[in-house]
Amino acid sequence: MDFPIELAVLCFAAGSVIHAAYVILAAKMKGHAGECDPASMRDGIYIGVTTFFWQFGNLLMFLGRSLGFTQDTLGYRISFFIREAALICFPLLFSYMSLHAPPEALKTNIMSRVGAWLRYPLWVWTVAGVAVIGARAAGIDAPILSMDVLSFTTLHLMLLYFIVFTVSTAGYRKRAEATGVGSLIRAQKAAVIAGAVAAGTFVLMLGGYWNLGIPFLPYVELAAMMTSVPFVISVAYRLYQFPFMDAFIREVIAGVILVAVFAAAMSVSQFPLWIMAAAVLLAYSKAPLTRWVERTFIGYEESVDEQEERIGTAIRALTRLDEFPARVSEILAREVEAEWVEFGSSPRADAVHQVEIPGSGLWLSVGLRIGRRRYMSRQLRIVRTAALQLSAHHHQLSRHEMREVTARAQMRALQAQINPHFLFNTLNVLANLIHSNPPKAERVTEELAEVFRYALESTRAEWVKLGDELQFLGSYLGIEKARFEERLTYSFDVDEALHAMRIPPMILQPLVENAVKHGIGPRLEGGTIRILGRLEEDRVVIAVEDSGAGHRSASRQRGAGIGLANVRERLHHLYGEAGTLRLDEMSPEGTRAVLTLPQAVGVHS
């Protein structure tokens, strides 16, 4: 009974894709030669290349057969050479795998020693076999060695090595278990299973060639031709600590199971509706099957999505920026099994992996993994996802703390406006003006209303226009002018283009209040207050000048500290190092408070 040719094409196409992906991953080990065992690296690449050409040659042959190509066509001859040359190379490759067994195994295990010693005659056998295959592909018969003898002998040599690998690997069980490392234990089991499956399948296939009446022999032959897949999976387990091999193992095992089930469905019936139903069912089975493979074959008890959600919940539970560095380091170090994780403004030079946290100017630096193991694709994905989660939550917390600081500052500024002294002084002025100068009393009342309105509204705003802030300061200074009369003069000299810029509300009021209270107030002759604003290169400079007592006077030392500290705190939270406040002495007398803001923030309304 022959198996359907479509089934063969499906199986060999899947095998070709699996081996091609494996070759790419194994080849990447060259860039990490210092981290990987050289023998394992070479074995991985050679096995991947050979098994790929074996599966690809089979695919080309059966695909050509389905298209009606005969043995005389060029395409058939090329596919024949690829397939048979790859097959003849397997025993030589296996002999070198035996040579790379642990030294103690080569000393104590006679099968491993025989397998390694055979590499000498196998070089002659392989060269001669490839020459015969090349001649046959060119249409020339080799009189010394027929293709039947060549293939039959090669298959028996492969069976011998499968037995050698199974027996020798089974002897490593206690040593693997003694390490307590899950990946090494699984690698040992995978090698035993792959070797046993390959040996058993080859025994059945060769039993059919020996006329032992093996049932379903064509399907057994197809299974034997596909044994390179479980074999390469077992090798992937050996290289498990190379990044992305966990993803390869997960996807390949799940894919092999799905292909095997689909192939079984095709062998039962090729009725289109039956095939479509089987395909739909398998498509819905992919996710739970992959999860089962992760738990059973890789040892991940929870899915990566579940782990990422748990980490995100822990990150979102952080409520203060000052606890971020220590808590984030603790959470991620535990989740990815790192010796250390650092969250800071710059990456550490000794980090194994460095990930920038988008939009924050911060970095995650990840140190060596515990036990000097390599980080797998899952751990690398978790670190990258955590960086995105940290970016969003850090930004949210920064905005929240900025709003809190702003709100506290605004409330303090509001309290400064409605404190009893300011209110009583203004009411006294109004009481005197009502009888002596009613129009002026009306104007002061309107300005007082404007001060209260702006102060109340600013507690609900994160940003205001500079023009609105200047209008508020004009009302404030108008009230103080009514109290100080001729002792106080003031003026505004701010570029019109800056009136639309955004600034924090009430950021200038403490500077003006200090100028009135501690600069003009102590002087009998009073003085002048000027508010200036200019755009200088890449920054906006706003200055509040007074011609009163200098900023080192006793009055300023007693009363100006809290207001200025509040301004500096708000600048730091809003602009970082780009926002500054400084006090300068003026000549011959007076004080200048200079506020510097970044242009990028200030020029847009």
Distance in angstroms (rounded) separating the CA atoms of residues 545 and 593: 6
What is the average per-residue pLDDT within 263-268? 79
Q: Does 405 reside within a domain?
A: no
Distance in angstroms (rounded) separating the CA atoms of residues 19 and 86: 13
Q: Which two tokens stand for residue 418?
A: 């409605």
End residue of a domain, out of 298, 323, 357: 298
Percentage of residues of the chain with pLDDT beyond 70: 86
Choose the weakest-confidence range: 378-382, 534-538, 574-578: 574-578
374 with 241, same domain: the answer is: no
What is the average per-residue pLDDT within 55-80? 85
Domain count, the chain: 3
Distance in angstroms (rounded) separating the CA atoms of residues 231 and 292: 21
Choose the weakest-confidence range: 243-247, 303-307, 567-571, 594-598: 243-247
pLDDT score at 556: 53
247 with 317, same domain: the answer is: no
Distance in angstroms (rounded) separating the CA atoms of residues 317 and 314: 5
pLDDT score at 293: 85
Q: Does 404 reside within a domain?
A: no
Higher pLDDT, 116 or 600: 116
Q: Is the pLDDT of residue 164 over 80?
A: yes
Enter the DSSP assignment of 447: H
Tell the residue number behind the tokens 């001859």, with chain if given: 77
Coil, helix or strand at residue 336: helix
End residue of a domain, out of 271, 298, 325: 298
Q: Does 563 reside within a domain?
A: yes
Residue-wise pLDDT tens digits, 301-355: 888 888 888 888 888 887 777 777 888 888 988 888 889 998 877 888 888 888 8
355 with 227, same domain: the answer is: no
Q: What b-and-e string marks burial along 224-256, b requiring 16 or more CB atoms within 10 Å of the CB?
A: bbbbbbbbbbbbbbbbbbbbebbbbbbebbbbb
256 with 334, same domain: the answer is: no
Q: Which two tokens stand for residue 272?
A: 């289109």
What is the average per-residue pLDDT within 374-394? 83
Rounded to 10 deg, the angle between the 217-225 and 182-209 helix axes is 140
- pTM, rounded to two decimals: 0.53
Q: Does 468 reside within a domain?
A: yes
Residue 69 phi/psi, 5-degree rounding, is -70, 140
51 dihedral zone (left: phi>0; alpha: psi -120 to 50; beta): alpha
pLDDT score at 594: 93
Beta bridge partners of 535: 540
pLDDT score at 541: 93
Q: How many residues are listed for the chain in this entry?
A: 605
Cis preceding linkage at 588, omega within 30: yes
Residue 544: partners with Cβ closer than 8 Å, 6 or more residues away: 508, 511, 512, 515, 529, 530, 531, 592, 593, 595
Distance in angstroms (rounded) separating the CA atoms of residues 457 and 371: 59
Q: Which two tokens stand for residue 475?
A: 């009302």
What is the average per-residue pLDDT within 550-577? 70
Q: Does 392 reside within a domain?
A: yes
Residue-wise pLDDT tens digits, 430-452: 887 887 888 888 888 888 888 87
What is the average per-residue pLDDT within 215-241? 79
Residues 415, 421, 423: CA angle, nearest 5 degrees:
70
314 with 450, same domain: the answer is: no
End residue of a domain, out of 339, 363, 397: 397
Distance in angstroms (rounded) separating the CA atoms of residues 177 and 366: 29
474 with 457, same domain: the answer is: yes
Higher pLDDT, 281 or 300: 281
pLDDT band at 602 (very low <50, low <70, confident <90, very high): very low
pLDDT band at 109 (very low <50, low <70, confident <90, very high): low
Q: Is the pLDDT of residue 87 over 80?
A: yes
32 with 142, same domain: the answer is: yes
168 with 279, same domain: the answer is: yes
Residue 592: partners with Cβ closer than 8 Å, 6 or more residues away: 543, 544, 545, 583, 584, 585, 586
553 with 465, same domain: the answer is: yes
190 with 93, same domain: the answer is: yes
Residue 600 phi/psi, 5-degree rounding, is -60, -35
The H or E element that residue 60 is part of is helix 38-66
Q: Does 219 reside within a domain?
A: yes
359 with 471, same domain: the answer is: no
Residue type at 383 in one-letter notation: V
Coil, helix or strand at residue 589: coil
How would DSSP label each residue in 90-120?
Answer: HHHHHHHHHHTS-HHHHHH-HHHHHHHHTHH
Q: Is the pLDDT of residue 160 over 60?
A: yes
pLDDT score at 257: 85
pLDDT band at 483 (very low <50, low <70, confident <90, very high): confident
Q: Is the pLDDT of residue 30 over 70?
A: no
> Which CATH number does the domain housing residue 424 bear?
3.30.565.10
Distance in angstroms (rounded) separating the CA atoms of residues 584 and 118: 90
Among residues 495, 508, 497, the alpha carbon closest in space to that of 464 is found at: 508
Q: Is the pLDDT of residue 557 over 60?
A: no
Distance in angstroms (rounded) separating the CA atoms of residues 578 and 75: 70
Q: Does 580 reside within a domain?
A: yes
451 touches 476 (CB < 8 A)? yes
545 touches 594 (CB < 8 A)? no
Which residue range forms the structural domain that includes residue 364? 304-397
Indicate the average pLDDT of the chain: 81
Q: Is the pLDDT of residue 106 over 60?
A: no
Q: HSE, CB side, 13 Å, CA atoms: give it for residue 475.
A: 20
pLDDT score at 411: 59
Residue 442 phi/psi, 5-degree rounding, is -65, -40
12 with 64, same domain: the answer is: yes
Distance in angstroms (rounded) separating the CA atoms of residues 278 and 138: 43
Percentage of residues of the chain with pLDDT beyond 90: 11
Q: Does 217 reside within a domain?
A: yes
Q: Is the pLDDT of residue 598 over 70?
A: yes
> Which CATH number does the domain housing residue 278 bear?
1.20.1070
